[in-house]
Amino acid sequence: MSEIHAFIDRLPKVELHIHLVGSASVSTVLDLAARHPDNRLPTTAEGMRDFYEFRDFPHFAEVYQAVSDVVRTPEDVATLVTGTARDLAAQRVGYVELTVTPYTHVRAGMSARAVTEALDIAARQAAERHGVHVAYIFDIAGELGGEAARATLDHALGHPPERLVGFGLGGIEQGRPAHRDAFRDVFRAAVAAGLHSVPHAGEMSGPETIWESIHGLAAERIGHGIRCLDDPLLVEHLRETQIPLEVCPTSNVRTGQVAEPAAHPLPRLLEEGLYVTLNSDDPPMFGTSLTQEYRVAADVLGLDASALADLARNAVRASFLDPAGQRAILAEIDAVASGDAGSARSAAGRGTPAT
């Protein structure tokens, strides 16, 4: 193992941009498919890997929906959360903000209360079994429009999980203008209720989607945001405001938004002085992990250990974790970055993050 890979493995991390359904390992998806045999999924691990070869983003959205279709019970939801926590714990991730699209699970037949109960139980299990503290972001699939937006808001305000911290908007960006007013209305209500605004934007569309997220949705973080580089005024605004970008390099390549890993704009985003965090998005679907994203940043994009540690710190500070929890993880990162792994273990033992 190279020295930089060993450093990445030791580095404490926070994950801000990972989707519940997209976080399911291949073995977990096959188990869920066996529970609900009337599905569109392959029946072998090899078949699933082929299934996860995406032509473009709309094709990815189709595959994602096919996997989501086998999440039909509260037990399935809890299985996904605890499985994600297990996988993240192995990567030295102590805190995750997990994006859930509850409307899809309610459409599958679960009640909002049942989804919330499953999320609450699973969050407690994730902490107890794996030492990973889970917070949730409720996400709207943008292509489903106003009905999904209002239902997601009703769920978030009427039956929220204990650790619900944010309100998001994902899916195919090109369809958003038709539902702009509905999205603005629900985000206004969510923010007024104390939730943080964290929409995806500037992944598969241009800077206009990012501007709308900032001015129309009061975004505090931007999911992806890589198309900001097409607009110098937007770059200047993001530099001045330091709105964090949740950057997911392998995801952008696998869905066809970036031609190849070496062409990813992560280095330029950093050169422009923008606030960047590193994330994995839908890791098993894209054949990656958060650790692998750090390796790509080092091996392919040329970031050194100091820059990687800064990215890890950025994620902590951009999170909605309480100040004491942030300080604890930052102390661990500083200890590893200074080469004192023993101090890192001691810092970790002084307390666990709270949400």
Q: Which residues are catalytic, by number?
A: 203
Are the C-beta atoms of 314 and 274 separated by less than 8 Å? no
Give the separation between CA 285 and CA 287, rounded to whole angstroms: 6
CA distance 230 to 208: 10
Give me the sign of the Cα torsion angle 324, 320, 207, 308: positive
SS3 state at 293? helix
Q: What are phi and psi of 305, to 5 degrees?
A: -60, -40
CA distance 162 to 159: 9
Phi, psi of 198 (to 5 degrees): -140, 65
Amino acid at position 16, single letter: L
Q: Which of 305, 252, 219 is nearest to 8 (CA)?
A: 305
- Looking at the DSSP bridge assignments, the partners of residue 139 are 168
Contact indicator for 257, 60 with CB cutoff of 8 Å: no
Tokens representing 267 are 């280095």
Compute the distance between CA of residue 306 and CA of residue 83 in angstroms, rounded to an integer: 31
277: Cα separation from own chain's centroid? 11
Q: Angle at the Cα of 53 (from 51 to 56), degrees rounded to 5? A: 120
What gap in Å lies between CA 350 and CA 233, rounded to an integer?
44
94 vs 13: CA distance, rounded Å = 7
Residue with tokens 């030295």: 92
Ranges of beta strands (E only) in 112-182 are 133-141, 164-170
- Judge whether 274 and 228 are in contact, CB under 8 Å: yes
